[in-house]
A and B are shown apart, each in its own frame.
Chain A
Amino acid sequence: DGGITQSPKYLFRKEGQNVTLSCEQNLNHDAMYWYRQDPGQGLRLIYYSQIVNDFQKGDIAEGYSVSREKKESFPLTVTSAQKNPTAFYLCASSSLTSGNQPQHFGDGTRLSIL
């Protein structure tokens, strides 16, 4: 079955440590997105990519970095510069053949601070 796989499901970060969240999709979608979810705030866009080797900052990109070396993969690194990283992170993808295509979501990674 086609879908989006995020790993790990739970992740813990120590002070000063960078951690990387994995996102893989086999839907052949061009665009991929990373969102951060905090209680009562909905989802906020961190980064997005519409084509391999290109990506753009979203609304809350500070303290995060991404890469898009393959169409199927869009890993997110939470750097030590992100002072409040505890949140639920969701990866999504969509086709670009039509601007109204809905986004498909993975099951998320919950990041906590040790």
Chain B
Amino acid sequence: AQSVTQLDSQVPVFEEAPVELRCNYSSSVSVYLFWYVQYPNQGLQLLLKYLSGSTLVESINGFEAEFNKSQTSFHLRKPSVHISDTAEYFCAVTDTGRRALTFGSGTRLQVQP
């Protein structure tokens, strides 16, 4: 069985400061990893994904995540956050047998002016 742990339920940060949202997973097989973002009362939007190849993946809005197999981690980072980044962020791993996602419990990023 797979599981995902997001260690921080809330992360407050000031605007233009760097941020890291932590994600660790457990799995006995090869994994595909995803970060999704959710704004209030909306569905989830894909932020970025690791499938294979380079362990560093980037999104179009400045976020990046690094796949670390030895530490079973996929932490999300941004060097300088904006107010508009305030949202909840979910880390997820695929279960290739059924193709459904296993989600972490989410991290609420609160960007303060």
Contacts and interface: CB of A to CB of B under 8 A. Distances in A.
> Is chain A's binding surface mostly helix, strand, loop or mixed?
strand
Interface in A83-114: 90, 92, 94, 96, 99-100, 102-108, 110
Contacts of A90: 43-44
Instruction: Specify which of B43, B45, B94, B96 lies most central, judged by the most chain A CB atoms within 10 Å of its CB.
Output: B43
B106 A42 contact: yes
A31 B97 CA distance: 13
Instruction: Specify which of A41, A48, A94, A102 lies most central, judged by the most chain B CB atoms within 10 Å of its CB.
Output: A102
29 contacts: A6-B43, A31-B99, A40-B9, A40-B105, A40-B106, A41-B105, A42-B4, A42-B6, A42-B104, A45-B100, A48-B100, A90-B43, A90-B44, A92-B44, A92-B101, A94-B99, A96-B99, A99-B32, A99-B94, A100-B51, A102-B34, A102-B46, A102-B49, A103-B46, A103-B101, A105-B45, A106-B43, A108-B41, A110-B41
